[in-house]
Amino acid sequence: ALTEEDLKQLPEEGIDPENSGKYQTLIEDLQGNILKGHGRDYSVHLFLQWKPEHINEAKQWLKTFTQTYVKSAKKQSDEAVRYRQEGLSGGVFGNVFLSRKGYEVLGFEPFQIPFDQPFRMGMKSNDIRSSLADPEVKDWEKGYQNDLHALILVADDDIIDLLQMVNQISQELRLVAEIVHREDGFILRNKAGQIIEHFGFVDGVSQPLFIKRDIVKAQTNDGNFSQWDSRAGLDIILVKDPNGQTEDSYGSYLVYRKLEQNVKGFREDQRNLAQRLNIKDDLAGALVVGRFYDGTPVTKSDIPTYAVTPTNNFNYDEDIAATKCPFHAHIRKTNPRGDTGRVESSPGFDESLTIEKNHRIARRAISYGENDPTKEPETGSGLLFLCFQADIENQFNFIQTRWANADRFVKVGVGLDPLIGQGQSAIDPEWPTKWGESETQEYHFKLWVTMKGGEYFFAPSISSLTNLA
């Protein structure tokens, strides 16, 4: 069996699924989409409630679904190789996620249910809600007000195949579960073909990397991690599955949140900010996000550079006064790249950076709603935010509550994350009027993202799902 050290310390180049050595069992029993996104253009999310009178049939259904559609991390990689070599698509991709309630209704005993505290409490719990500053459950979208037992994700590049599949699955599910909510997601792209979110910014650039191919690509094309090392140990994303059937059966916690984006409101606010600072609109947007529309980090440049693949090899060493990228900019709040070590006197820079890096999450979001963001939807569009981690309290919840929602992070006077910061603050953040110089202006950028509902799930190992019935 793998040791704690094996999880913490990966080989220099990460895990090579084609030559995985001691990690073989792990990647064969771990669901795909965790260590690396599945990459399909379209996804459907079905939220289920098991029918208590048909639990055995539900378990049988889960087993069959898993055997048919859920791909292991290993299989996901094998199919990607085949795709690159022969152009053969891997077809429908499936994931199964269970909530704490889902485990209970399936008849699991408390000691068999994954232990994470927020996972056990659920996203609707008052403690969780108030700590995240989330809206009251009665204000969530109706579907999310239900108890959610399971989330079935199916994804494909061919939307017709996918929708037919979803019809078929919905039929099969009738006996065993009620589909209490459904989301249809898709990958949004800009004219250059890059993946963006509804406000128009390139998204999904900065991720913790675990897999050799991703690591080598980043090293070769993006400066060999000289400024920022994206590699991460498996201990930030995986935990033992209490119901796994192999000695290396692992799972991961999934945070799911529907985040509505008011595009028109955001754009207007961005223009007003630009006017107030007397700068261009695109620079104002970059000060909010920390990157320009095209992904160029604003700490590196005051204009977009139109790199095909935006760099992720940077930190804030040359911007410690935050005159280029404000401390409150979304990406500086959610990944301070060493700022904590600079601001706090102990335990020293290197150790602070290590602690900071353990808060990282693997983001797997996709968009929903209007597929043409230039129409500037005010409601009905946004991000289906998904992220994987080993410890919800120390990762997603920490980033949201202690960094994004905290007006004193990274230090007093900074203000909230203008993109996602929830809750109250009396501080109007300071924005640089000249990039790289110390003059600033106050401006209150409003929150244009609204949480519409969500839940905490666990991605069980494949063997635990196929052993259910």
What does the binding site for ligand HEM look like in residue numbers (CB under 6 A)? 197, 199, 201-206, 259, 261, 289, 291, 330-331, 334-335, 361, 382-383, 385, 396, 399-400, 404, 419-420, 449
**What minimum distance in Å lies between the beta carbon of 189 and ligand HEM?**
14
Q: CB-wise, 100 or 330, nearer to ligand HEM? A: 330
Q: CB-wise, 259 or 273, nearer to ligand HEM? A: 259
**What minimum distance in Å lies between the beta carbon of 314 and ligand HEM?**
9
Q: CB-wise, 361 or 459, nearer to ligand HEM? A: 361
Handedness of CA 406, 411, 415, 421 (dihedral sign): negative
**What minimum distance in Å lies between the beta carbon of 391 and ligand HEM?**
14
Q: CB-wise, 155 or 259, nearer to ligand HEM? A: 259
**What minimum distance in Å lies between the beta carbon of 420 and ligand HEM?**
5
**What minimum distance in Å lies between the beta carbon of 198 and ligand HEM?**
7
Q: CB-wise, 94 or 373, nearer to ligand HEM? A: 373
**What minimum distance in Å lies between the beta carbon of 95 and ligand HEM?**
20
The encoded tokens of residue 203 equal 């998204």
How wide is the angle at C-alpha 187 spanned by C-alphas 186 and 189, nearest 5°?
140
Residue 342 burial (C-beta neighbours within 10 Å; 0-12, 13-18, 19+) = middle
Q: CB-wise, 99 or 395, nearer to ligand HEM? A: 395
Using CA atoms, how far residue 273 sits from 47, 105, 321, 443, in Å, is 39, 50, 20, 7
How wide is the angle at C-alpha 263 spanned by C-alphas 257 and 269, nearest 5°?
115
Contact 169, 152 (CB under 8 A): yes
Q: How far apart are CA 294 and CA 292, in angstroms?
A: 5
Q: How far apart are CA 302 and CA 299, in angstroms?
A: 8
Contact 26, 2 (CB under 8 A): yes
Contact 302, 436 (CB under 8 A): yes
Q: CB-wise, 143 or 204, nearer to ligand HEM? A: 204
Contact 95, 31 (CB under 8 A): yes
**What minimum distance in Å lies between the beta carbon of 373 and ligand HEM?**
11
